[in-house]
A and B are shown apart, each in its own frame.
Chain A
Amino acid sequence: MKRVELIDLSKSYDKQIDVISGINVTIEPGEFFVLVGPSGCGKSTMLRMIAGLEEITSGTLKIGDKVANGLPPNKRELSMVFQNYALYPHLTVQQNIAFGLDVKKVKKPVQQKRAEDVAEMLGLTEFLQRKPRELSGGQRQRVALARAIVSESPICLMDEPLSNLDAKLRAHMRMEIRRIQRTLGITMIYVTHDQVEAMTMGDRIMILHEGKIQQVGKPIDIYNNPANPFVATFIGSPPMNLASAKNDSVSSTLLIGDTWHLALPANENYSHPSSELIAGIRPEHLRPATKDTPEADKFYVEVTNVEVLGNETVFSFELGGNEWMAKWSGQWHIDSGDRIPILIDTGSLCIFEADTGELIKKPTDLGNFVFGKEVLL
């Protein structure tokens, strides 16, 4: 259970362009830390730098209290699970699991005991004598996991371990990995491009884009208060709706996507040096207007697409050249082409500065979506 510290880390392949730069983060012992970002954002490179498979161009990497920049991979006391599992095809499951121990010259009976224990934990006992090619994808995944666990390393790195599994199995393995991590208390650094995995598994997540940190924090904080438009659209499904906006301080309204005039409460005013803003709102915060809604608050939209998912309905419409989506719970019988009235609460609106992407207004009204345990009692 070791701390991993990244201090001003950067990576460059050609000594000119940094593919990763300015990474400062401390991963606490026993934490489940998720690196998430679109493909090509440098998240795997970062993981490989921590593992020692990729050289660090500048900055300091500390594992525990030691500087680990120059340490070879096996001296860093970590285990790693690869996307394609990297199982040795010529060895049986048992030999695969015990391979690392064998390299470390652990005694044979001890090797066997530990391999069997881990196999039992992951339900692999009956496959111990099989070769990897005789296993299904999920079973191979488990063997890869077992191989990482059996080493009893304090740190475990995972590089998109679930991306080769089907959706159902993936959901199951998500829970299983989380459970194992909690039981063993290992420090986990997990790379994924799937925001659902990031949201559900991580204690903290770090969002990377073009080699730079966008935001680090608890998943729910990031969901509620995205630091910039990129994070806002990357986390959440469907993504947050964004449109350019202008603040009219005279009439105290916000002009969204050149068509909607949203009246602002008297005490709120987003006068900013550059009046170019980006307004964002989560699909679930766009609410249906009811009969009691005053006509002035209604916004009429023309539905372009409807997806009824059983427990919720997602429909899209166009606003200021962007496709917006709204998500309402229940099954709504709406057809594309319909004009329907919707409501926007100023409280659930995010406002970003257009040039820098900086968040200047957090959503304040999440009341309808946040519940405490007390509600149940």
Chain B
Amino acid sequence: MTISLPKKIWIYFLLTVTSLLVFFPVLYAFMISFMTGPEILQGKFFPQSFSLDNYFKVFDRLPLVKYLVNSFVVSVGVMFGQLLVCSLAAYAFVFMPFKGRDFIFFVFISTMMIPWEATMIPNFFTIQKLDWLNTYQGLTIPFFALAFGTFLLRQHFKTIPKELHEASQIAGLSRFAFFWRVILPVSKTSLVTLGAYGFLTTWNMYLWPLLITTNSSVRTVQIGLKQLQSQEMSTDWGVVMAGVIVVIIPTLLLLFLGQKQLQKGLSQGALK
């Protein structure tokens, strides 16, 4: 399909405007991260000079590297945990007939209607009783069983022809072998989607880590950002924004890399 030049210019103009609109907050944060205090108060958009002072200050004031590592460990942990639990659950819901399967699935899915915050207090007590405060397992394990993820994968598994299951039964594949050797490779696309979703939500999680962590041993980076704000009487916004930029870099990277993989996976299914 070819688009005429004026139309192309118009489309690109619109795209540029909207992308600027969407990207403006991030761009502004990026600019602020190079500014000094007075500059920010003057409401300038471009800093006078691109000094990295704020960045040094951030790493100085907070154990930011440690927080980043913590966040990374927790996010990756939740991502793999979710992939494992959800894919196994979805497999059972699709390929193993048992009594009351649809009902159980319905109950499972209906938990999506309960806001997470409502279950926060019982969850907190459970974790406390288990003595998992300030531990990685306390931060990760409550998120492994994800109704949304199970639902997503179940929908994908359902599109896999049942003949594939039957063919592997005749070949003599065990249930787990079928899951491992056929189902997982075939549903790579959905797994990548769910993985990216799990990583990003965990990376951006605020409330739960705030409750569960009381010291910097396993504290995640989002809490660190909050700490920057409240440490002094007047917040040094330049430093906070420098922290923000550092924090969003991994997510942006993941999104860019993941997007490419995702597009590849999606187009693979579409092309015959």
On A, residues with C-beta under 8 Å from B are 48, 51-53, 72-74, 78-80, 82-86, 88-90, 99-100, 103-104, 133, 147, 151
A53 near B166 with CB under 8 A, answer: yes
Query: Contacts A89-B186, A90-B185, A90-B186; is A84 near B163 (CB within 8 Å)?
Result: yes
A104 to B177: give the CA distance in the assembly, Å: 12
Query: Contacts A88-B182, A89-B186; is A104 near B172 (CB within 8 Å)?
Result: yes
B171 near A86 with CB under 8 A, answer: no
A51 near B271 with CB under 8 A, answer: no
A89 to B189: give the CA distance in the assembly, Å: 13
Q: Determine how close the nearest CB of chain A comes to the CB of B57; give it in whole angstroms.
A: 50
Residue numbers in B under 8 Å from A86 (CB-CB): 161, 163-164, 166-167
The dominant DSSP class at the B interface is helix
B163 near A82 with CB under 8 A, answer: yes
Residue numbers in A under 8 Å from B171 (CB-CB): 74, 99-100, 103-104, 151
Residue of chain A at shortest CB distance from B268: A133
On B, residues with C-beta under 8 Å from A are 161, 163-164, 166-173, 177, 182, 185-186, 188, 271-272
Q: Determine how close the nearest CB of chain A comes to the CB of B239; give it in whole angstroms.
A: 49
A53 to B171: give the CA distance in the assembly, Å: 12
20 pairs from A and B in contact (CB 8 Å cutoff): A48-B166, A51-B166, A52-B170, A53-B166, A53-B170, A73-B169, A79-B170, A80-B170, A82-B167, A83-B163, A86-B161, A86-B166, A88-B182, A90-B182, A90-B188, A100-B172, A103-B171, A103-B172, A133-B271, A151-B171
Cβ-neighbour of B161 out of A74, A84, A104 (below 8 A): A84
A86 to B164: give the CA distance in the assembly, Å: 5
A77 to B185: give the CA distance in the assembly, Å: 27
Cβ-neighbour of B170 out of A51, A89, A90 (below 8 A): A51
A88 near B166 with CB under 8 A, answer: no
Cβ-neighbour of A80 out of B167, B177, B186, B188 (below 8 A): B167
Residue numbers in B under 8 Å from A72 (CB-CB): 169
Residue of chain B at shortest CB distance from A96: B167
The 4 closest A-B pairs by CB, nearest first: A74-B172, A86-B163, A100-B171, A90-B185
Cβ-neighbour of B166 out of A80, A89, A147 (below 8 A): A80
A195 to B173: give the CA distance in the assembly, Å: 35
Q: Determine how close the nearest CB of chain B comes to the CB of A368; give it in whole angstroms.
A: 46
A74 near B169 with CB under 8 A, answer: yes
* Central interface residue in B167, B171, B177, B272, by most chain A CB within 10 Å: B167
Residue of chain B at shortest CB distance from A85: B163
Q: Determine how close the nearest CB of chain A comes to the CB of B148; give it in whole angstroms.
A: 25
**Beyond A73-B170, A100-B170: 12 further Cβ-contacts under 8 Å?**
A48-B166, A52-B170, A80-B166, A82-B166, A84-B163, A86-B164, A89-B186, A90-B185, A99-B171, A103-B173, A104-B171, A133-B271
A85 to B168: give the CA distance in the assembly, Å: 12
* Central interface residue in A72, A73, A79, by most chain B CB within 10 Å: A73
Residue numbers in B under 8 Å from A48 (CB-CB): 166
A133 near B272 with CB under 8 A, answer: yes
B164 near A88 with CB under 8 A, answer: yes
Residue of chain A at shortest CB distance from B169: A73
Q: Determine how close the nearest CB of chain B comes to the CB of A51; give it in whole angstroms.
A: 6
A251 to B169: give the CA distance in the assembly, Å: 66
Residue of chain B at shortest CB distance from A83: B163
Q: Determine how close the nearest CB of chain A comes to the CB of B163; give it in whole angstroms.
A: 4
Q: Determine how close the nearest CB of chain A comes to the CB of B179; give it in whole angstroms.
A: 13
Residue numbers in B under 8 Å from A74 (CB-CB): 169-172
* Central interface residue in A51, A52, A74, A104, by most chain B CB within 10 Å: A74
Q: Determine how close the nearest CB of chain A comes to the CB of B175; give it in whole angstroms.
A: 11
Residue numbers in B under 8 Å from A147 (CB-CB): 167
Residue numbers in B under 8 Å from A51 (CB-CB): 166, 170
Residue numbers in A under 8 Å from B186 (CB-CB): 88-90
Residue of chain B at shortest CB distance from A81: B167
Q: Determine how close the nearest CB of chain B comes to the CB of A86; give it in whole angstroms.
A: 4
* Central interface residue in B169, B170, B171, B182, by most chain A CB within 10 Å: B170
Residue numbers in A under 8 Å from B185 (CB-CB): 90
A172 to B177: give the CA distance in the assembly, Å: 36
Residue numbers in A under 8 Å from B168 (CB-CB): 103
Residue numbers in B under 8 Å from A78 (CB-CB): 170
Q: Determine how close the nearest CB of chain B comes to the CB of A54; give it in whole angstroms.
A: 10
Q: Determine how close the nearest CB of chain B comes to the CB of A112; give it in whole angstroms.
A: 17
Residue of chain B at shortest CB distance from A133: B272
A53 to B168: give the CA distance in the assembly, Å: 11
Residue numbers in B under 8 Å from A52 (CB-CB): 169-170
Residue numbers in B under 8 Å from A99 (CB-CB): 171
Residue numbers in B under 8 Å from A83 (CB-CB): 163
Residue numbers in A under 8 Å from B177 (CB-CB): 103
Q: Determine how close the nearest CB of chain A comes to the CB of B184; give it in whole angstroms.
A: 9
Residue of chain A at shortest CB distance from B272: A133
Residue of chain A at shortest CB distance from B171: A100
Residue of chain B at shortest CB distance from A78: B170
Q: Determine how close the nearest CB of chain A comes to the CB of B16; give it in whole angstroms.
A: 37
A53 near B173 with CB under 8 A, answer: no
Q: Determine how close the nearest CB of chain B comes to the CB of A279; give it in whole angstroms.
A: 44
Residue numbers in B under 8 Å from A151 (CB-CB): 171
Residue numbers in A under 8 Å from B182 (CB-CB): 88, 90
Residue numbers in B under 8 Å from A82 (CB-CB): 163, 166-167
Residue numbers in A under 8 Å from B188 (CB-CB): 90
Residue numbers in B under 8 Å from A90 (CB-CB): 182, 185-186, 188
Q: Determine how close the nearest CB of chain A comes to the CB of B174; give it in whole angstroms.
A: 9
